[in-house]
Amino acid sequence: MAGEDAGRFGGRVALVTGASSGLGQAVARSLSEGGARVFGVGRDEARLKAALDGPENAWLAADLTSPAACTEAARACAERFGGIDILVNAAGAHTMRHTAEVSDQEWERDLAVNLSAPFFLSRAALPHLLERGGCIVNVASIAGLEGQAYSAGYCAAKHGLIGLTRAMALEFDGRGIRVNAVCPGGMTTPLLENFTFPEDPDYALIMKTATARGLMDPAQVANVIAFLCSDEASAVHGAVYTVDNGKMAL
């Protein structure tokens, strides 16, 4: 892994959620290879260790549906590495359900994972980011830009995450930090591989979210996120980048 003073992220500290698999893991690896010291957060400690093993990185197994866990993650990262320069809110969860059958608990979890956790992590990291001139990248989804069948909670949360990104970008304009969002389309991740559909779905509705170019590799999206975290994107603030193999152009 790259040393502290090497690469485009040399000397910087990155807090990445969802780092145990999928897109979060790809982002953590990309930033680490660019010289950042990465503090990865996820639910699977063994996978975190496998992805981030090395003296330049650290990890914390945590369930970020708890506000206290989000606060602790930011505190632990800052304590381990002396601050935070980059926050990538990549953790997410998507379960398709018939809207009329969504329970209170399922609705609350959809919002907790996909919207509340990025807010609580951002709130906890802000003092460090403001001090060091850092950046936040929120991983939304094309579901934050359009409706998707059987995904009321997920769509609501991802639309909200885009709103949060824009609100924070406006509030902190001129304060030395940047806040942006990325909206990926379908990727070959464990989330998709373990995906289940609700009973008796209308597959024609589900296929409206597909693209003829197929699924992306998480590394393709991680490359865009790494760009937004870099000095090359110093003029990019309050932006919402769509990375979806052309889906939203259809």
Catalytic residues: 154
The whole-angstrom separation of Cα 88 and Cα 136 is 6
Size of the chain, expressed as the number of residues it contains = 250
Neighbours of 227 (CB within 10 A): 17
At position 179, the amino acid (one-letter code) is V
At position 225, the amino acid (one-letter code) is I
Instruction: Supply the DSSP symbol for 215.
Output: P
- The token pair at 141 is 């989804």
The whole-angstrom separation of Cα 129 and Cα 15 is 11
Place of tokens 């892994």: 1
Q: Residue 231 burial (CB < 10 Å; 0-12/13-18/19+)?
A: exposed
Output Rg (C-alpha) for the chain, integer angstroms: 17
Q: Which of 11, 72, 67, 10 is nearest to 41 (CA)?
A: 72
